[in-house]
Amino acid sequence: MSKITVTDLNGKPREIEAEVGLSLMEVIRDNDFDDLAAICGGCCSCCTCHVFVDENWADKLPPREEDEESLLEDSDHYDAALSRLSCQVEFDDSMDGLKVTIAPEG
């Protein structure tokens, strides 16, 4: 199984196993990260699963769709290069070693 590193809101990184075919949001949520609210459950209708992708990975992920971009642009913590909604990133084997940081809400 592939692994990713998730840094929580306190700055503590933790390496977790990631199952191919799940969204990044599901992987993080299923590994008990309380910092990731994911209120809409992956419907791309909120911004509570916002993460910052490590700069070394930003160009390796599929590009954002228009709905994702619109929601992120309204976030107080939007970073044009690194922000992603974790519900919109489907995890696959090419993402083994991915590093993300959970973004503050708001």
Give the CA count within 13 Å in the CB-facing half-sphere of 103: 23
Q: What's the CATH code of the domain at 90?
A: 3.10.20.30
Specify the number of domains making up the chain: 1
Q: What is the pLDDT of residue 89?
A: 97
Q: What is the mean pLDDT of each run of 10 residues along the chain (106 residues)?
A: 95 97 96 92 91 96 95 95 97 96 89
- Cα separations (Å) of 59 from 2, 35, 63? 19, 25, 8
Helix H, strand E, coil C: the string for 3-51 is EEEEECCCCCEEEEEECCCCEHHHHHHHCCCCCCCCCCCCCCCCCCCEE
Residue 32 sits in which domain range? 2-102
pLDDT value, residue 59: 93
pTM of the entire structure? 0.94
Cβ contacts of 81 within 8 Å, gap of 6 or more: 55, 58
